[in-house]
Amino acid sequence: MFNHLFSMTNGLSKTLQDPDLDFSAAMSLIDATIETLQTYRSEKQWKEIWNEALTVADDHDIEISSLPRKRKHKLPGKLCDALLTTTVVHREELSTENQYCISIYYRVLDCIIDELNKRFNNESKLCMKGISACSPKSKNFFEFATIKPMLVNYKISEEDV
């Protein structure tokens, strides 16, 4: 599971650490990575990952056990001697596959997506594109429409540019 997720984010990680970073290309890669991760949040993708995990576990004689329950649900003490006229909630046990999907896969995937969205929100992406437009190597070098959001964010007047 983690191999799939981290292999998708590895390219982005390496790009963002490159000393010759092209901010525009990085922004496109960030958007593409987020979009790809969001498509991975599907039952079809989970089934593929789960089946691969089962195959690896079977090949190496590893038993996939259920996740431990957080705590046992028991009737509150004050209701022990009471006459109940309604049913007490009964939670259905999830299959091992669904436990891993909900408790680990979706949680990790959501954390990665949320972190990318938080770090690279629209405002920061516009600023990074503005920084990129300040480089003579940029295809939209000194294009004012691209630079303006950065100027507004850093409270720089147009005359100062």
Q: Per-residue pLDDT tens for 119-131?
A: 999 888 888 888 8
Q: Are 128 and 27 in contact (CB under 8 A)?
A: yes
Quote the DSSP letter at residue 102.
I
Instruction: Report the alpha-carbon distance of residue 139 to residue 132 in Å, rounded.
Output: 9
User: What's the angle, vertex CA 125, arms to CA 120 and CA 129, rounded to 5?
Assistant: 150
Q: Which of 71, 68, 120, 117 is nearest to 94 (CA)?
A: 68
61 or 4, which is more confident: 61
Average pLDDT over residues 150-160: 82
- What lies within 8 Å, CB to CB, of 57 at 6+ separation is 63, 64
Widest CA span of the chain, in angstroms?
A: 79
pTM above 0.85, yes or no: no
Q: pLDDT at residue 85 above 70?
A: no
Q: Are 1 and 64 in contact (CB under 8 A)?
A: no
The per-residue pLDDT for range 57-80, each reduced to its tens digit, is 999 999 888 877 666 666 667 666
Q: Which of 20, 17, 28 is nearest to 135 (CA)?
A: 20
83 or 93, which is more confident: 93
Instruction: Report the alpha-carbon distance of residue 118 to residue 126 in Å, rounded.
Output: 14
Instruction: Report the alpha-carbon distance of residue 73 to residue 138 in Å, rounded.
Output: 60
Instruction: Report the alpha-carbon distance of residue 5 to residue 112 in Å, rounded.
Output: 9
pLDDT at site 118: 95
As a whole number, the mean pLDDT across the chain is: 85
Q: Are 8 and 34 in contact (CB under 8 A)?
A: no
Q: Write down the H helix ranges in the chain.
A: 2-17, 23-39, 43-59, 96-100, 106-119, 122-133, 144-153
